[in-house]
Chains A and B, each alone.
Chain A
Amino acid sequence: DIQMTQSPSSLSASVGDRVTITCRASQTISSYLNWYQQKPGKAPKFLIYAASSLQSGVPSRFSGSGSGTDFTLTISSLQPEDFASYYCQQSYSTPRTFGQGTKVEIK
């Protein structure tokens, strides 16, 4: 199985901050990396596919980058509705695996 490791596990930030979350795969996955946002008690929401392609309707302050084993999710200017947990997911091979999550909290 491909292991996905996110860092940090949690972070505190203020509205307007630039936030970066890292996801590392245990082996190369090309650009087969997706990102999700999850708020407490809710289902995950799909944000980004193919490492950097924004799903329709997702605000442009979200962006993704990377290829191979190292990927990042960036929120350019954190908004109140962005406080949530974020998960990466590899789609290079089965079983499909997720990172352990990064919780973005209010400072």
Chain B
Amino acid sequence: QVQLQESGPGLVKPSETLSLTCTISGGSISSYYWSWIRQPPGKGLDWIGYIYYTGSTDYNPSLKSRVTISVDTSKNQFSLKLSSVTAADTAVYYCARFQSNWGYFDYWGQGTLVTVSS
């Protein structure tokens, strides 16, 4: 059974960079796409972007100028960096596996709340 676990700071100051890592267990990072999705408190789900295990990426245009997703196959991990954060970036951040055939997210991490505040 594939499991995903997000890790990283729960508090980030405005204008700084949010950094999160997702560790995959119970399966290999290879041959799949891996995604970040966020959910502001009390709101819906927003797709941030994804990365293929080879390193190719696709980002939501609304965040593209501030987002970098990278992969470390040796550690079975992938990471998110979101720069120049504001209070609007406060959200629960989820990592998830993306199945490219029909485009669904089948395995999700438990999520981690990141608050942007000074």
A residues neighboring B (CB under 8 Å): 1, 32, 34, 36, 42-46, 49-50, 53, 55, 87, 89-92, 94-101
Contact = CB atoms under 8 A, between A and B. Distances in A.
A55 B62 CA distance: 30
A47 B110 CA distance: 17
A91 B33 CA distance: 14
B46 interface: yes
Contact of A94 (B44, B58, B104, B110): B58
B45 interface: yes
Contacts of B44: 87, 98-101
A97 B107 CA distance: 17
B103 A95 contact: no
B109 A91 contact: no
8 contacts: A1-B61, A44-B45, A46-B105, A49-B102, A55-B106, A87-B44, A95-B60, A100-B44
A98 to B, nearest CB: 4
Interface string B95-106: 000010011111
B108 A34 contact: no
- In the A-B complex, the 4 residue pairs with the closest CB atoms: A91-B103, A43-B108, A96-B47, A34-B104
A14 to B, nearest CB: 25
Contact of A44 (B60, B62, B102, B105): B105
